[in-house]
Amino acid sequence: MPAYRVIGVIGGMGPAATADFLARLVAGVTAAHDIDHPHVLIDSNPHVPDRNAAVRGDGPSPGPALAAMAQALVAQGAQVLAMPCNAAHGWADAIDAGVPFVSMIDAALAEALGHRPRCIGVLAVGATLALDLYGRASPVPVIAGDLAVVQPAVNAIKAGNRSDAVRAALAGEAARLAANGADVIIAACTEVPLLLSQADVTVPLIDSTAALARATLAAAALPDMDG
């Protein structure tokens, strides 16, 4: 059974997505007892300045808040940091707390590239698209979902609306991306996989939250001293 470094979670963007990330961490461990799971420290702060407003110039940068959260988690003992919010990775450079930081963008993109796509589609919100977080990191072309469809769907999910109509809107946009050449689609906003699943999409769907959880557990795993 592997042992783990202490994981610190820079969260709250939004709260449901952070709770989903913790559930993915728990599910990702083969455990017989509580003690087999990693120690996880979570700062779920919904008051981090809005990422979309910041990139539009309508609000303050979230960078200082993210940096302060990271430093506080490390001061409490975190040895590996993760942040389950795609858009907030536009300010990941502010996070310099002296411990490894696991990039959600890199984790999701690595899983997408495992399907050997010629083109990747992303379902994302304003800041992720405006900063081209996936496009800048990808070696293959990336096409974006329609913000006029995805943003209202994400807003609805954040407000607790998990209706068939919201699911259908996201599934329809995924279908449009596939029809336009996307061989794989990344759910590049942590609210999207709270509703949309592989059953709704005709090409491989990469859940960025699940990808980050897997990458975080891998980064936090200690060497097997008995091996």
Confidence tier at 1 by pLDDT (50, 70, 90): low
Confidence tier at 123 by pLDDT (50, 70, 90): very high
Q: Which residues of 93-116 are buried (b: 16+ CB within 10 A; e: fewer)?
A: ebbebebebbbbbebbbebbeeee
Averaged pLDDT, 7-34: 96
DSSP type of residue 163: -
User: Do residues 178 and 202 make contact, with C-beta atoms less than 8 angstroms apart?
Assistant: yes
Q: Are residues 127 and 183 in the same domain?
A: yes
Residue 193 is assigned to a structural domain of this protein: yes
Residue 202 is assigned to a structural domain of this protein: yes
Q: Are residues 172 and 114 in the same domain?
A: yes
Of 189, 192, 195, 205, which is the active-site residue?
A: 189
Q: Are residues 71 and 118 in the same domain?
A: no
pLDDT of the residue at 226: 53
Q: Are residues 145 and 202 in the same domain?
A: yes
Give percent above pLDDT 90 in the chain: 96
Q: Which residues contact 36 (CB under 8 A, 6 or more apart)?
A: 1, 29, 30
Mean pLDDT taken over the chain: 96
pLDDT of the residue at 195: 96
Q: Are residues 80 and 149 in the same domain?
A: no
Q: Are residues 20 and 109 in the same domain?
A: no
pLDDT of the residue at 223: 86
pLDDT of the residue at 2: 73
Task: Tell me the backbone φ, ψ of residue 181, rounded to 5 degrees.
Answer: 115, 0
* Total domain count, the chain: 2
Averaged pLDDT, 156-170: 96
Residue 225 is assigned to a structural domain of this protein: no
Q: Which residues contact 168 (CB under 8 A, 6 or more apart)?
A: none
pLDDT at position 33 over 80 = yes
Residue ranges making up the domain that contains 78: 7-103+211-220
Q: Are residues 28 and 75 in the same domain?
A: yes
Residue 1 is assigned to a structural domain of this protein: no
pLDDT of the residue at 97: 84
DSSP assignment string, 82-143: E---TGGGGGGGG---SS-EE-HHHHHHHHHHTT--SSEEEE--HHHHHTTHHHHH-SS-EE
Instruction: Establish whether 119 is a catalytic residue.
Output: no
Q: Are residues 82 and 133 in the same domain?
A: no
pLDDT of the residue at 225: 54
Averaged pLDDT, 82-109: 96
User: Do residues 85 and 95 make contact, with C-beta atoms less than 8 angstroms apart?
Assistant: no
Residue 189 is assigned to a structural domain of this protein: yes
Whichever domain contains 149, its CATH number is: 3.40.50.1860
Residue 226 is assigned to a structural domain of this protein: no
Q: Are residues 74 and 33 in the same domain?
A: yes
Q: Are residues 196 and 112 in the same domain?
A: yes
Give percent above pLDDT 70 in the chain: 98
Q: Are residues 109 and 41 in the same domain?
A: no
Of 69, 83, 85, 154, which is the active-site residue?
A: 85
DSSP assignment string, 22-58: HHHHHHTS--SSGGGSPPEEEEE-TTSPPHHHHHHTS
